[in-house]
């Protein structure tokens, strides 16, 4: 990691922009902080309009464009769609952007194909993500013999947004177990967490499926790719201090702050979170 910083010059102090329909994209921010601790990050969570996963393609595209424009106005150097739903059905909005764009589906597909031994890959995501078939298409392009079992897990996002993700919670455990039944029955040895909220449920998912099933968190490989991109294009931030993280949400800042502090494992005080109205931008 440090080697790359020595080899490449560093030259872009603008922040990295990350957006999601709500809290879930913080699982990607957590990984970004691991790989790129000195980068500033501007996060937008559309908490006033979550979930995206139950909406039409047109609505998801419209929201994605508004989220991206918000970040462009914050002068970010690149944008990460830390939302499986947007990545699955609205990645084409990236062609309109003046900065590089990264989504989370292709990285997850690549990691899953690398991880599987029996070629049976599970995908869990929102209804819109599963309906799009994007993970399956990308997996099959890399491994045509793969058997993909995709399951929409509509109740996972509300559980996470509500702060219910303890593996000891019987409601959480039984809900996860019921949704993952086809994954278990079909003998998947690898499971893509195709929604950025789902890594929060990782412990429960492991408890249900057992340690032998590899769980793919797209935030990890996406963050790795972003790091490589910044290095190769001389776009790393040259500062040596820990990056500044600013958070914007479209609903109450307080509830976001409390959950985000737990998910990120860092204290997020009120100066770091602002409520914005995308309609007024
Ligand atoms: N974070 C979104 C995703 O990754 C899921 C939540 C939603 O439905 O908006 O798909």
Q: Tell me, what's the pLDDT at 68?
A: 96
pLDDT tens digits along 59-75: 999 999 999 999 999 99
The CATH number fitting domain 16-103+220-275, selected from 1.10.3720.10, 3.30.1130.10, 3.40.50.1860, 3.40.50.1110: 3.40.50.1860
Does 3 score more than 50 pLDDT?
no
pLDDT for position 280: 55
Substitution candidate for ligand 1 out of 30, 84, 153 with most atoms within 8 A of CB: 84
Q: Could you identify the atom of ligand 1 that is nearest to the CA of residue 195?
A: 4
Q: Mean pLDDT throughout 8-18?
A: 83
**Shared fold status for 16-103+220-275 and 105-218:** yes
Q: How confident is the model at residue 137 (pLDDT cuts 50, 70, 90)?
A: very high
Strands (E) across 34-174 are located at 41-45, 78-81, 101-102, 120-125, 147-152
CA of 91 to the centre of ligand 1 (A): 14
E-strand ranges in the chain read 16-20, 41-45, 78-81, 101-102, 120-125, 147-152, 190-193, 214-217, 245-249, 273-275
Angle at CA of residue 146, ends 143 and 152, nearest 5° = 120
50 pocket-lining for ligand 1 (C-beta < 6 Å): yes
**Average pLDDT rounded to a whole number, residues 10-31:** 93
CA 35 to centroid of ligand 1, rounded, Å: 23
Q: Which range has the worst mean pLDDT, 147-151, 205-209, 275-279?
A: 275-279
Helix (H, G, I), strand (E, B) or coil at 274: strand
Q: Quick check: 160 pLDDT over 50?
A: yes
Q: Is 83 a catalytic residue?
A: yes
Of all atoms in ligand 1, which is nearest to the CA of residue 53? 8
Mean pLDDT throughout 136-144?
A: 98
pLDDT above 60 (res 4): no
Instruction: Give the CB-side neighbour count of residue 31, counting CA atoms within 13 A.
Output: 23
pLDDT of residue 8: 43
Is 45 within 8 Å of 19 (Cβ atoms)? yes
What would the pLDDT profile of 208-251 be if each residue is shown by its tens digit? Answer: 999 999 999 999 989 999 999 999 999 999 888 999 999 999 99
10 pLDDT band (50/70/90 cuts)? low
Domain boundaries, the chain: 16-103+220-275, 105-218
> Nearest C-alpha to atom 2 of ligand 1 is from which residue?
83
Among 33, 153, 188, 195, the one annotated catalytic:
195
pLDDT for 1: 41
**Burial of 143 by CB count in 10 Å (0-12 exposed, 13-18 middle, 19+ buried)?**
middle
Distance CA 122, CA 149 (A): 5
Name which residue leads in pLDDT, 119 or 1.
119
**What does the chain come to in residues?**
281
82-103 pLDDT tens trace: 999 999 999 998 888 999 999 9
pLDDT of residue 5: 44
* CATH architecture of residue range(s) 105-218: 3-Layer(aba) Sandwich (3.40)
> Is residue 184 over pLDDT 50?
yes
pLDDT band at 48 (very low <50, low <70, confident <90, very high): very high
Span of 102-106, 129-133, 197-201, 260-264 with lowest mean pLDDT: 260-264
| Number of the ligand 1 atom closest to the C-alpha atom of 104 | 4
Which residue, 195, 218, 215, is CA-closest to 85? 195
Read off the pLDDT of residues 22-37 as tens digits, 9 standing for 90 and up: 989 999 999 999 999 9
């Amino acid at each position: 990691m440090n080697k790359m910083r020595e080899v490449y010059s560093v030259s872009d102090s603008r922040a990295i922009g990350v957006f999601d329909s709500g809290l879930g994209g913080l699982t990607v921010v957590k990984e970004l902080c691991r790989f790129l601790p000195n980068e500033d990050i501007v996060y937008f969570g559309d908490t006033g309009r979550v979930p995206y996963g139950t909406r039409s393609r047109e609505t998801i595209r419209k929201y994605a464009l508004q989220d991206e424009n918000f970040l462009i106005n914050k002068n970010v150097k690149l944008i990460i769609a830390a939302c499986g739903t947007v990545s699955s059905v609205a990645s084409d909005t990236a062609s309109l952007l003046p900065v590089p764009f990264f989504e989370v589906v292709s990285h997850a597909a690549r990691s899953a194909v690398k991880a599987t031994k029996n070629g049976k890959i599970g995908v869990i995501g929102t209804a819109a993500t599963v309906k799009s078939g994007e993970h399956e298409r990308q997996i099959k392009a890399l491994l045509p013999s793969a058997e993909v079992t995709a399951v929409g897990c509509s109740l996972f996002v509300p559980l996470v947004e509500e702060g219910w993700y303890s593996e000891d919670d019987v409601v959480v455990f039984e809900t996860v177990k019921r949704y993952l039944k086809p994954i278990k029955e079909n003998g998947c040895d690898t499971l893509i967490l195709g929604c950025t909220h789902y890594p929060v449920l990782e412990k429960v998912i492991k408890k249900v499926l057992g340690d032998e099933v590899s769980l793919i968190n797209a935030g990890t490989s996406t963050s790795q790719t972003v790091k490589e991109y910044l290095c190769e294009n001389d776009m790393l931030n040259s500062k040596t201090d820990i990056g500044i993280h600013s958070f914007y949400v479209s609903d109450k800042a307080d509830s976001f702050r409390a959950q985000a502090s737990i998910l990120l494992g860092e204290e997020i005080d009120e100066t770091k979170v602002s409520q914005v109205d995308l309609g007024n931008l």
